[in-house]
Structure 1
C-alpha cells in the first residue's frame, strides 16, 4: 500500500469512527448517516484508495472533472456518483448522463433539462432540492416558501426521483446556533418524508458542523479535506 493509500485509509477510518460516535451521542441508529466522500480536485489515485477501503459514495462539484473520473473508473461499477456543485444549464446533459445523484436542484429549468436529458437505460436520477437556509444572497437554493411547488414539479417529471433536501448553511462555529439554523430544514424534511416513502435523504453536514448536522437528522455527511487532504485547485 502506498503512502497516499494508507493516509486515505486512515483518514476514512477516523471519519467513519466520528460519525458512529455522534450517531450514538445523539441517539441515532448506527449506520443512519452515510458518508459522501467529496473528491473534487483530488486525483483518481486518491479515489481508488478510498474505494479500496470500502468507500462507494463520491461527491463532485465540477462537471468535467466528474465526467473524466466516471470514465476513468468505469470498471468500478458500484461507485455512486453524486453531483453537489452549482449547475449551469449548458452542463445538464453531462450530469444527466453520468451522475447517479444530484443534490443541488434549485431551478425549474434545471429540473426540466435533467429530466429530458436523462438516458432511460440508466434509470431515474436521484435528486435533492437545495434550500437556502441562511438566506444568503450569495448562496444557491430555494426559499422554504418555494418548496411545495418544487416538490410538485419534480414529482411530475419523468426520469427524476426526489429523495430529499440539501443545504449549505452560513459558516458558524457554535453547535447550538448551527442546530437552530438546521431546525426548520429538519422539520421540512420530516413533513416531506411523511407524504412520500421515497424521501429518505437529508444532505447536510461537513467537517465544521458534523455534530450539529447529525443531531439535526442528517442522513448524509459531505466530507472532503478530512479524507483526502487539502484541495489542490491548481490541478483542475
Structure 2
C-alpha cells in the first residue's frame, strides 16, 4: 500500500466518522479515531502520522516496543500517543506501564495492580478502559457485565491509573440494527457506573465494520485498522 493511499484512507475514514456523528446528532469532536497499527510497518505508522493521525493502537507488546523505537528513529519530530488494546500477559505489564498512554483491555484486578505499581512516577496516570465481554462469548476476553462495577471500583482506587471508561468487542454481525444492541448495553453499563460515582468519560467501541452503530450509541473512541492500512498480513515479519 502506498503512502498516498494511507492518507486517502484516513481522509475517507474521517469523512465517514463525521457523517456518522452527524447522523447521530453528535459533534464530530466527541469521537476520537484510534488507528490500529498491529502488523503494520513503522513506515506505515509514520505515513499515517504525517497525514495527521496521532493515536495508534497496538495488540502485541514486543511488536509495539520495536515499532515505537523504529518510528522514533524515522521521525523523531512526531509526538504520538500509543494505546494498548490487546490481551495482557502478567509478564508484559511493565513494558505497557512504561510506554503506553492508554490501556483498553484491563479485565482483571491482578493486571491493574501490576500496571499501577509499575507506572513510572514521572509519567501522567495511565488511562484505563475496563474490557467488558458484552456479548458473553466464551472465546472473548473481558469481565462479565455483572462483575464490572466491583472491578471498576477497585481499579479507580489504584495510584498511577485513571479509570476512563469501558471497551468491548461485540460478536460480529452485518445487521445494522443488531450491531447497536451490545453498544447500547455497554453505554447503559457505563451510565450505571457513573451513577455509582465513577467519573467515566470514555466508550471505546466500534471498528471498521460497525463504526456507525457504535457512534450512534455513544462511542467516544473508534478503533479502525483495516479501513486505514488495508488488509492485514499476519505472516509478515515486522
Alpha-carbon deviations, 1:116-154, whole Å to 9, x = none?
Answer: 111111121101000000000110001111111111111
Q: Check 1:130–1:80 CA distance in 2 against 1; reply closer, same or farther (3 A cut).
A: same
Does the CA contact (< 8 Å) of 2:45 and 2:71 recur in 1?
no
Question: How far apart are 1:72 and its partner, in Å?
Answer: 2.2
Aligned length: 233
Does the CA contact (< 8 Å) of 2:43 and 2:71 recur in 1?
no
Q: Which runs of 5+ in 2 are unaligned?
A: none
Partner Cα distance (1:52, 1:201) in 2: 26
Does the CA contact (< 8 Å) of 2:49 and 2:78 recur in 1?
no
Of 66-75 and 220-229, more deviation after overlay is shown by 66-75
Indicate the SS of the match to 2:28: coil
Q: Which runs of 5+ in 1 are unaligned?
A: none
Q: Check 1:173–1:157 CA distance in 2 against 1; reply closer, same or farther (3 A cut).
A: same
RMSD: 1.3
Q: 1:63 aligns with which of 55, 61, 64?
A: 61
Q: 1:11 aligns with which of 9, 12, 23?
A: 9
Partner Cα distance (1:94, 1:136) in 2: 29
Partner Cα distance (1:93, 1:26) in 2: 39
Partner Cα distance (1:117, 1:76) in 2: 27
Q: TM-score, normalised by structure 2?
A: 0.94
Q: Check 1:134–1:151 CA distance in 2 against 1; reply closer, same or farther (3 A cut).
A: same
Query: Is 1:100 the counterpart of 2:101 in the alignment?
Result: yes
Q: Check 1:196–1:148 CA distance in 2 against 1; reply closer, same or farther (3 A cut).
A: closer
Q: Check 1:94–1:145 CA distance in 2 against 1; reply closer, same or farther (3 A cut).
A: same
Question: How far apart are 1:191 and its partner, in Å?
Answer: 3.2
Partner Cα distance (2:62, 2:89) in 1: 12
5 Å-filtered alignment, 1:47-196, equals 47-74=45-72, 75-76=76-77, 78-193=79-194, 195-196=197-198
Question: How far apart are 1:184 and its partner, in Å?
Answer: 1.6
Alpha-carbon deviations, 1:50-94, whole Å to 9, x = none?
Answer: 000110000000000111122223324521100000001111111
Partner Cα distance (2:77, 2:192) in 1: 36
Indicate the SS of the match to 2:97: helix
